[in-house]
Amino acid sequence: MTIRHFRTLAASGALLAAGVAIPGGASARDLTLCWAAWDPANALVELSKDFEAKSGVSMKFEFVPWPNFADRMLNELNSGGKLCDLMIGDSQWIGGAAENGQYVKLNDFFDKEGIKMSDFIPATVVGYAEWPKNSPNYWALPAFGDVVGWSYRKDWFARPELQAEFKEKYGRELAVPKTFGELKDIVQFFQKREIDGKTVYGAAIYTERGSEGITMGVMDVLYSFGFKYENPDKPYELEGYVNSAEAVKGLEFYKELYDCCTPPGHSDAYMSEDIDAYKSGQVALHMNFAFTWPGIHADANVGGEKSGYFPNPAGPDGAAYAQLGGQGISVVSSSEKQEDALAYIKWFAQPEIQQKWWEMGGYSALLKVVEDPNFATSQPYAQTFLDSMAIVQDFWAEPAYASLLQAAQKRFHDYVVAGQGSAKDALDGLVKDWTEVFEDEGKY
Amino acid sequence: MLKSTVDRVAEATPHVIARRMHGLSDRALAWLFVAPSIVLLLAVNIFPLIWTIRLSFTNFRVNRPNAEVDFVGLRNYASILSDRDIWLTMQATAHFLIWTIVLQVLIGFSLAYLINKKFRGNDLWTTIIVLPMMLSPAVVGNFWTFLYQPQIGLFNYAVGFLTGADPSSFSMIGDVKLAPWAIIIVDTWMWTPFVMLICLAGLRSIPPSIYEAAECDRASKWRQFWTITIPLVLPFLMLAVLFRGIENFKMFDLVVQLTGGGPGSITELTSINLKREAFEKWRTGYASAYAVILFVTVFGLASIYVKALNKVKQR
């Protein structure tokens, strides 16, 4: 090839590259929103069409399946990538994202646009928007309220023969459990029972090892048993709180649930595995985030009147708490389109859009929506959502949350699924791990 | 007169380039040609290695761009080497490594020995046997999770059929005792064909005349196997062990897909553990020290092994 040929080829290549690039850059204004790949994300795509029509900004979406969501998106934030202009990030990321300058602080914007955090469910403001916690420093707008709760086979509970058998065995009605003790009776009752010629099992609970699954499930139970993250009067003092006698009992209870009453092979299950087990009619009870409830309600196999919903039952002392899920929407600091991204948040915060969001399957955190007199009856799971959101607690949201989470994943899975050591060993080990993390963080 | 290749290349070289090249020594020309490769090697291999070694002496975290980076000396190394959990992942890796190599060598060599015999459908069987190694590890891991499913999995069904056990009474990837074997079975299923192909190449490289001479000397088949086949195939076999050893030391995708390192941390191999430290906990300095330790281990073992391999080849 002569030099002249090479130049011609290079020029053609450049033209071709320009030609390819033009369609992508044709839209003068676009925004990319990053979130997890799940049902609510599909609803948001539909909802966002209104924003596109009103603003002229075209929306792009980058959705990553839950097991890889944190890995992928935290990589993006840490590397200062420009893929995402808007991030609907997990609640636990808020500390790191705020301290490392990855999210734009929204206080001035909220003040300017008249967006008040007092208009949102308080738990979602603390969980999704504030850093430091309980301080008026906002890094996100509560976007999707979520909480762990339970769905159950209402049609099975209603069967007279099962009701009679249950009453004879336990001396009470087969009904929604009010305590974890009652819940265990129910799942034991259903375990390996023949229903309609099929063997069914007690409950699908979280046991996943890789990301955050088992921690979300264990914590959901531990809170109600009396677990505390730290000494309320002395932050980061863990000994005697994380590994208190009550917490040990809670962890033992979770293992008993796993050992006695889950389907075979349920050793690595999180949201999607649990929902599959429930929708396929394998289990009577199903622990999962509230986002799964609209899908259950619409399901041909278990939907409609066949399923009911209830919040986390109470622990031995009558206290009931639930693990907070959900996310806030933030503007990514490295984005070059922050003006448009803020415009999206302004649009999203409007009450009518929030109402639409709820109607499309998104859990709005706006008080005007959830306190509407018709809200509780608008869907069969709406009241359970409200009840659950009133009792939420969340995992650490410290900048070092990932190390804290991984330690919990290992300790809980080692004990609950692999059956290694005792619950006390697991929680003592967790205190040791978390103390090391906080020492590294200079908290002592 | 026939022109040499060199002459033809010289004539085809554009004058502009030829003028520029004129006057360059052979050595300079050689450097010119090799330079791009060296630059690439330095950029993608050597520089990251040196950078990793540098980071391994710090407390750097990639997710804390604003935090001060301190030199911590050998603290990362000391903490890794004294961490019981890391030694457990090393044990899990050693268990996986040893058993996969033993099984793959035994089965791979046996299959190669059989395939080397002339029979009808020989080529078809070879093709069928090598199919698993052509699949993506992620795909293999995914579909084996279904095969191992206690309620619907074919593997459990087959075991139940053969032993009379209830298929849903055991979980290959959920049981602490079975999970390490579950990953060994899948890796063996996938990579035995690779060992078989290398052994087959070794078997086919043995000249038939050697066997004919042995026949003349009335050597038994057993004797021929131990004194001709094994010694001549040994260098190939050792090469296969080297490849599989290096590959399985850094095994990640297949096991993550199958067990995610669980139940508990029973199948958490070093590469999975390293990934958690580097990209989940974001302890970059610590993970760098961990990577350096693994690199030195693999490099050291492989060097010793290659020396042994060379000795066997020279025999």
Domain contains B63: no
Same domain, yes or no: B47 and B154: no
A192 and A104 co-located in one domain: no
Number of domains in chain B: 2
Structure tokens at B22: 């004129």
Smallest CA–CA distance, residue A375 to chain B, in Å, is 39
Query: Measured between CB atoms, does A424 come within 8 Å of chain B?
Result: no
Instruction: Kindly report the number of other CB atoms within 10 A of residue B211's CB atom.
Output: 15
By C-alpha distance, the chain B residue nearest A277 is B151
Domain end (from A393, A410, A432): A393
- Are B80 and B45 within one domain? no
pLDDT band at residue A25, thresholds of 50, 70 and 90?
very low
Asked whether residue A188 is assigned to any structural domain, the reply reads: yes
Predicted pLDDT of residue A4: 43
Query: Which residue in chain B is spatially nearest to A420 when comparing CA positions?
Result: B264
In a domain, residue B66? The reply is no
Number of domains in chain A: 2
A266 touches chain B (CB under 8 A): yes
Task: Encode chain B (315 residues) as per-residue pLDDT tens digits.
Answer: 556 666 776 677 777 666 666 678 888 889 999 999 999 999 999 999 999 999 999 999 988 877 889 999 999 999 999 999 999 999 999 999 999 999 999 999 999 999 998 888 888 999 999 999 999 999 999 999 999 999 889 999 999 999 999 998 999 999 999 999 999 999 999 999 999 999 999 999 999 999 999 999 999 999 999 999 999 999 999 999 999 999 999 999 999 999 989 899 999 999 999 999 998 888 999 999 999 999 999 999 999 999 998 888 777
The pLDDT tens digits of the residues spanning A146-172 come to 999 999 999 999 999 999 999 999 999
User: Quick one: pLDDT at residue B20?
Assistant: 66
Q: Which site among B177, B265, B283 would you substitute to test the A interface, given the most A Cβ atoms closer than 10 Å to its Cβ?
A: B265
Residue of B nearest to A200 (CA): B151
Are residue A237 and residue A113 in the same domain, yes or no? no
The reply to whether A190 and A307 lie within a common domain is yes
- Shared-domain flag, residues A234 and A288: yes
Q: Using one digit for the tens of pLDDT, what is the confidence trace for A178-235?
A: 999 999 999 999 999 999 999 999 999 999 998 899 999 999 999 999 999 999 999 9
Residue B5 has what pLDDT? Answer: 65
B206 lies in some domain: yes
Contacts across the A-B interface (CB distance below 8 Å): 100
User: Between chains, do B151 and A3 touch, taking CB under 8 Å as contact?
Assistant: no
Pair B93, B174 in one domain = yes
The backbone region for A236, taken as left when phi is positive above 0, alpha when psi lies in -120 to 50, beta otherwise, is: left
Question: Tell me, what CATH number does B243's domain have?
Answer: 1.10.3720.10
Q: If you measure CA to CA, which chain B residue comes closest to A75?
A: B279
Residues A307 and A331 in one domain: no
Q: Are A141 and A154 contained in the same domain? A: no
Residues above pLDDT 70, as percent of chain A: 94
Q: Residue B255's closest chain A neighbor by CA?
A: A210
| Same-domain status, B255 and B124 | yes
Interface of A with B in 181-240 (CB under 8 A): 208-210
**Predicted confidence band of residue A280 (pLDDT cuts 50, 70, 90):** very high
Question: Which tens digits make up the pLDDT trace of A366-386?
Answer: 999 999 999 999 999 999 999
pLDDT score recorded for residue B281 = 87
Tell whether B69 is covered by a domain.
no
Do B22 and B150 reside in the same domain of the chain?
Answer: no
Rounded to a whole number of angstroms, the distance from the CA of B276 to the nearest CA of chain A is: 8
Distance CA B137, CA B258 (A): 10
Closest listed residue to residue A381, CA positions, set A286, A315, A314: A286
Residue A263 in contact with partner chain B when CB distance is under 8 A: yes
Chain B interface includes A346 (CB < 8 A): no
Q: Within this chain, do residues A244 and A358 fall inside the same structural domain, yes or no?
A: no
B chain contacts of residue A265, beta-carbon cutoff 8 Å = 148-151, 153, 168, 171, 173-174
CA-wise closest residue to B181 among B207, B159, B213, B157: B159
Q: What is the pLDDT of residue A67?
A: 82
Shared domain for A304 and A221, answered yes or no, is yes
Q: Which pLDDT does position B26 carry in this prediction?
A: 86
| B87 and B49 housed in the same domain | no
A14 found inside a domain: no
- Whether residues A209 and B148 touch (CB distance < 8 A) is answered with no
What pLDDT band is residue A314 in, cutting at 50, 70 and 90? Answer: very high
Query: How far apart, in whole angstroms, are the C-alpha atoms of residue A122 and residue A110?
Result: 16
Q: What is the pLDDT of residue A55?
A: 95
Determine the Cα–Cα distance for residues B210 and B224; give it in Å rounded to an integer: 9
One domain, residues B130 and B92: yes
The alpha carbon of residue B275 is apart from the nearest alpha carbon of chain A, in Å, by 11
Residue B119 shares a structural domain with residue B170: yes
Q: Is residue B111 part of a domain?
A: yes
Q: Is residue B244 in a domain?
A: yes
Query: What are the structure tokens assigned to A31, written together?
Result: 């925004």
Residues B81 and B197 in one domain: yes
B203 and B240 housed in the same domain: yes
Q: Which residues of B touch A (CB under 8 A)?
A: 14, 16-17, 59, 62-66, 85, 148-151, 153, 168-169, 171, 173-176, 256, 259-266, 276, 279-283
Q: Is residue B70 domain-resident?
A: no
In a domain, A105, yes or no: yes
- Does any domain span residue A17? no
Q: Which residues in chain B are closer than 8 Å to A418, comparing Cβ atoms?
A: 176, 262-266
A141 plus A213 within the same structural domain: no
The better pLDDT of the pair A329, B28 is held by: A329
Cβ separation B66–A101 shorter than 8 A? yes
> DSSP letter string over A371-407?
TSTTHHHHSTTHHHHHHHHTTEE----STTHHHHHHH
Provide the CATH number for the domain around residue A37: 3.40.190.10
Return the top range by mean pLDDT from A4-8, A11-15, A86-90, B261-265. A86-90
Q: Give this complex's ipTM.
A: 0.80
Is residue A12 a part of any domain in this protein?
A: no
Model pTM? Answer: 0.85
Question: Does any domain span residue B149?
Answer: yes
Is residue A359 in some structural domain?
A: yes
Same domain, A341 and A410: no
Q: Which range marks the domain in which residue B44 is found?
A: 5-55
Same domain, A105 and A154: no
Query: According to the model, what pLDDT value does residue A1 have?
Result: 42
Domain that holds residue A367: 29-146+325-393
Across A3-28, average pLDDT: 43
Mean pLDDT over each residue of chain A, to the nearest integer: 92
Q: What is the pLDDT of residues B77-89, one digit of tens each?
A: 999 999 999 999 9
Residue A262 maps to a domain: yes
Same domain, residue pair A270 and A363:
no
**Is there a contact between B65 and A100 if contact means CB atoms under 8 Å apart?**
yes
- The closest CB to that of A71, out of B153, B263, B280, belongs to B280
pLDDT digits (tens, 9 = 90+) for B272-314: 999 999 988 889 999 999 999 999 999 999 999 999 988 887 7
Query: How large is the average pLDDT for residues A101-121?
Result: 96
Instruction: Tell me how close the Cα of A155 comes to any Cα of chain B, in angstroms.
Output: 24
Q: What is the Cα–Cα distance from A122 to A411, expressed in whole angstroms? A: 31
How many CB atoms lie under 10 A from the CB of residue A379? 17
**Same domain for B239 and B134?**
yes
A332–B contact, CB cutoff 8 A: no
Q: Are B274 and B156 within one domain?
A: yes
